[in-house]
Amino acid sequence: MKQGTLTTKIAMLILFGAVVCYVGFYILQVALSPYKTSLVYEYTAENAVTASGYVVRDEEPVLSDYSIIDIVRDEGERVGKGQAVAVAYKTQEALQRKQQIRTLQLRLEQLEYSEGSSSQAMDSARLDSEIVDEILDIKKSAAKEELSGMEEDVLSLKNLVFRRDSVYNGSDDIQTLIADLESQLSSLQSEASYDTVEIDAAQSGTFSGMVDGYESVLTVDSLSAMTPSQYASIAPAGVDAGAVGKLILGYTWYFVSVLPQEQAALLDSGKTVTVRFSRDMTGDISMKVERIGEAENGSCVVVLSLDKYIAKTTLLRRQTADLIYQSYTGLRVPKQALRLDENGQAGVYCLMGIQAEFKKIAVVYEGENYYLVKPAEKEDGTPADGSMMLRAGDEVIISSQELYDGKVVS
């Protein structure tokens, strides 16, 4: 056994030594080789200017004279004319009554669901499974300290338990309970009519709970003639103490900024520009250059507009964005790799096996230490193909040594 173990150890040492020698030889060969290579990959270069400014919308604050307010709309939710935005309560007792009404309505919904169930046995088994799943979800949320979602999970669990209990008790008891709940609800709702007031939308719009004082200062109408000096004096007005939120009218929103005249000249009025906000909104969006104002002391007001994503902008006001007015996509190669053949055709030498192969290219964009290129077209104007076409993943040779097509370099 000892002899076998010793032999195994010797064999492993020999194998390890061979691997080390191979790796060392490869590294030495690469280090001493006059031909360095670089991997070709697809890349996009952008020309952009950075702008800081304001998001502008047509906004109307929603006001109330009451101090106890319950907002019934989500941020960014669309609200129709005459629909409730919030509910105001004249007293604390009115608020407590509203909570009782909600509890009874939930219970009534659960009972009506159970009464209409076609198969109690099937519902019982399914509800048992859903209750277990909900308990596990609550346990996971508690372990991760994700408290924001636990309230909804607990409410859902109560709902399931009530339904399960109703299925177990039978339909006769359910009908009695439903009648009792309907009577209680009717009484509470009658009382609520005296001290509960709905705050309705005067016109349709998108709801936002953020009122910042810019609603009356940054108006859509003000953008049509705004100058750099007027832009510099922008400041929020006071926020009405009775504001419970606001309605954003229409679907179009704007971004206004001031740029140096030479940067503003890079944009084309009436055309689109790619905009990338630095925070709060992810992804690139295409906005219309609505207006480039007259120059004032070397600066111009620039207004961009978009008639989409209004619900995503409800909390945005001061923003910084990159305005990307040009972009180029191609295959990125180091500048040192570019060569000209005897006919003046640009190209690069690629390592194909152990030989150098010349592939013709056309330069798309010049960066600081690289070119973006594309495969050159054939003489008949058709795209290059086959092995002569430069592709992402090719290895281009970077060397001051003389190269020619077919030269052995490795």
pLDDT (tens digit per residue) in 343-375: 889 999 999 888 889 999 999 999 999 999 999
What pLDDT was estimated at residue 204? 96
Structure tokens at 27: 């590294």
3-state secondary structure of 161: helix
Q: How confident is the model at residue 257 (pLDDT cuts 50, 70, 90)?
A: very high
Domains defined for the chain, CATH in brackets: 36-43+330-408 (2.40.420.20), 82-198 (no CATH)
Q: For residue 114, give the 3-state DSSP assignment.
A: helix
* Helix or strand run (H / E) with residue 396: strand 395-398
Q: How confident is the model at residue 95 (pLDDT cuts 50, 70, 90)?
A: confident
Confidence of residue 165 (pLDDT cuts 50, 70, 90): low
Query: In the prediction, which pLDDT does 162 show?
Result: 66
pLDDT in tens, 280-335: 788 899 999 999 999 999 999 999 999 999 999 999 999 999 999 999 999 999 99
pLDDT at site 3? 55
In DSSP notation, 278-320 reads SSSS-S-EEEEEEEEPPPBTTEEEEEEEESS-GGGSTT--EEE
Tell me the CB-side half-sphere exposure of residue 60, using CA atoms within 13 A.
13
Torsions phi, psi for 152 (to 5 deg)? -65, -40
Q: What is the CA radius of gyration of the chain?
A: 35
- Per-residue b or e along 173-195, where b marks 16 or more CB atoms closer than 10 Å to that residue's CB: ebeebbeebeeebeeeeeebeeb
Judge whether 313 and 55 are in contact, CB under 8 Å.
Answer: yes
Cβ atoms of 209 and 225 closer than 8 Å = no
Q: Name the nearest CA neighbour of 234 among 320, 318, 291, 310.
A: 318
Q: Which two tokens stand for residue 53?
A: 């400014």
pLDDT tens for residues 373-396? Answer: 999 887 776 767 777 899 999 999
* Neighbour tally for 236: CB within 10 Å: 14
Cα–Cα distance between 220 and 237 in angstroms, integer? 16
Nearest to 53 by CA among 259, 248, 342: 259
Instruction: Give mean pLDDT, residues 244-261.
Output: 97
Mean pLDDT (the chain) is 85
The pLDDT, as a whole number, for residue 269 is 95
Question: Tokens representing 173?
Answer: 């008891």
Phi and psi at 144, nearest 5°, equal -90, 0
* Contact status, residue 301 vs residue 319, Cβ threshold 8 Å: no
Per-residue confidence (pLDDT) for residue 209, from 0 to 100: 94
Segments of 64-122 assigned E as strands: 68-71, 78-79, 84-89
400 confidence band (pLDDT: 50, 70, 90): low
**What pLDDT is recorded for position 80?**
96
φ and ψ at residue 283, rounded to 5 degrees: 90, 160
What are 219's two structure tokens? Answer: 């108006």
Count of C-beta atoms within a 10 Å radius of residue 78: 15
| pLDDT above 90 for 12 | no
- The confidence band for 76, taking pLDDT boundaries of 50, 70 and 90, is very high
- Give the separation between CA 209 and CA 176, rounded to whole angstroms: 42
Residue whose C-alpha is closest to residue 291's, from 303, 283, 309: 303
**What pLDDT was estimated at residue 138?**
82
Reading across the β-sheet that carries 196-200, which strands appear in turn? 68-71, 84-89, 196-200
Stretch (H or E) spanning 26: helix 2-32
Over residues 96-143, the pLDDT tens digits come to 888 888 888 888 877 776 665 544 544 667 777 888 888 888 888 777
Give the CA distances from residue 158 to residues 7, 127, 134, 280, in Å, rounded to whole numbers and listed in that order.
Answer: 70, 12, 10, 35
DSSP state at residue 407: -
CB 305 within 8 A of CB 273: no
Q: What is the pLDDT of residue 10?
A: 76
Query: Which residues, at least 6 apart from 319, have a Cβ–Cβ distance to it below 8 Å?
Result: 52, 53, 54, 55, 255, 277, 278, 279, 280, 281
Asked if pLDDT for residue 274 goes beyond 70, the answer is yes
Tell me the HSE value of 364 on the side-chain side, using a 13 A CA sphere: 18
- pLDDT tens-digit map of 186-243: 887 877 777 888 899 999 999 999 999 999 999 999 999 999 999 999 999 989 989 9
Percent of the chain with pLDDT over 70: 86
pLDDT at position 390 is 93
Short-list 200, 175, 192, 220, CA closest to 54:
220
